[in-house]
Amino acid sequence: MSRELLVSPGFESVAKVFSKYHKDELAGASFAATVNGTQVVDLWGGVKSDGAPWSDDTVCVIASGTKGICTVAVLMCVERGLLNLEAPIESIWPEFAAGGKGQVLIGDALAHMAGVPGIERKITAQEISDPILMAQMVAQQHPFVPVGSPTYHALTFGWIASELVRRVDGRSIGKFVRDEIAQPLQLDLHIGAADDVLPRIAKTTRAKNYNYTALLPGSAIDPRLLHVYGMTPVELSESADFAKIELPGGGGVASAYAMSRLYAMLVSGGELDGVRLLQPEIIEIARRERSVGNDALSGRQLRFGIGFEINPNPSRLGMAPDAFGHTGAGGSTHGAWPSMNTSFSYAMREFQTENSDSRAFELLDVLDECVMRQLKKK
């Protein structure tokens, strides 16, 4: 069913900022937000790389925003008694003990403290397309940063999360997400997109100066970061088949509307539209600080709960001190503000370098102002 553009009264300034970046022939995107579980903003605009207009059913790669979806899947396994966040990861996954990392608690591994932020070998397109094989590589990889120190596991987080789900549930994380999250909540989000989704995916483009924040020129770059950010073969990332593979650390596709609804469920205590996926207690555990400190490789400040980035951190989740969610490379931003019962998502096709990208920052800033005005009226 097609949707109409939505700007609720009092949120017109959000649409104005969105239009500045995504009107007419500018690169396309979508932005959506909910307050108290009700959609207050649902916007899309601009064009796809082929010049076709962005529409209500356009989806795009959300990069590390995918980690938030993975986290919901893991939390559902925890709530069902299939996973214990305080158990050593080797209790579920014995092979992970290679290199002395098996005693890492499952919760700590999901807070980026497993010591294996990358794979110290070249990865082929065929290999990275197989999440079970990649999980085996992560298990075999010996730590190359201190276990227990926060270090961003850019892609390996996804293979850790997906293998934990597979071992206790039997399904791949892509199938679990489809069966247990996307279908019950009727959300257009995918880890491993089906063939019928592919025509709706806006191809990712990159600004001329685009690079990962950790690899920006002008400072000494730890060579080990190439094992973290250099794993995806270029020929695969630019292929139409990229979205078909289950790349749980950064290959999911979604619309902003779908991601805003996912976080609406979380910020509403685990239930949305009469469908309950989680109990509030599990969500509270997940957004409680689990790791904090400067990344052992990049020096960037990190702060994580279970899977979620939490404020304060450099990832621009808005002004709310209790914000949680997950940003993605290039600018996508998805999360929630519990104190304001608000969720939001920004999904776009053009990746821009973080230190020169103000799109999501401006959208969240004006959304905050709009919600605060609404709250003051009550």
pLDDT tens-place string over residues 136-193: 999 999 999 999 999 999 999 999 999 999 999 999 999 999 999 999 999 999 999 9
Q: Which two tokens stand for residue 376?
A: 């003051």
* Distance of alpha carbon 362 from alpha carbon 210, whole angstroms: 19
Mean pLDDT of the chain: 95
* Distance of alpha carbon 339 from alpha carbon 347, whole angstroms: 23
pLDDT at 240: 67
pLDDT tens-place string over residues 294-320: 999 999 999 999 999 999 988 789 999
- Specify the number of domains making up the chain: 1
Indicate whether 14 belongs to any domain: yes
- pTM recorded for the entire structure: 0.96
- Residue 214 confidence (pLDDT) above 80: no
Indicate whether 1 belongs to any domain: no
Indicate whether 176 belongs to any domain: yes
The Cα-based distances of 110 to 62, 155, 287 in angstroms read 19, 12, 12
Indicate whether 48 belongs to any domain: yes
* Distance of alpha carbon 77 from alpha carbon 141, whole angstroms: 25
Q: Which two tokens stand for residue 300?
A: 């960037």
* CATH code of the domain covering residue 311: 3.40.710.10
Question: Measured at the alpha carbon of residue 100, what is the angle toward residues 95 and 102, in degrees to the nearest 5?
Answer: 50
- Residue 92 confidence (pLDDT) above 70: yes
- Residue 215 confidence (pLDDT) above 80: no
pLDDT tens-place string over residues 228-279: 998 887 667 667 678 999 999 999 999 999 999 999 999 999 999 999 999 9
pLDDT at 234: 67
If phi over 0 gives left and psi between -120 and 50 gives alpha, with beta otherwise, what is residue 14?
Answer: alpha
Band of pLDDT at residue 23, cut at 50, 70 and 90: very high
For the chain, the distance separating the N- and C-terminal CA atoms, rounded to the nearest angstrom, is 34
Which of 355, 356, 347 has its CA nearest to residue 63? Answer: 347
Question: Measured at the alpha carbon of residue 272, what is the angle toward residues 268 and 275, in degrees to the nearest 5?
Answer: 130
pLDDT tens-place string over residues 51-91: 999 999 999 999 999 999 999 999 999 999 999 999 999 99
The Cα-based distances of 157 to 62, 66, 76, 276 in angstroms read 15, 11, 17, 26
Structural domain of residue 10, as residue ranges?
6-377
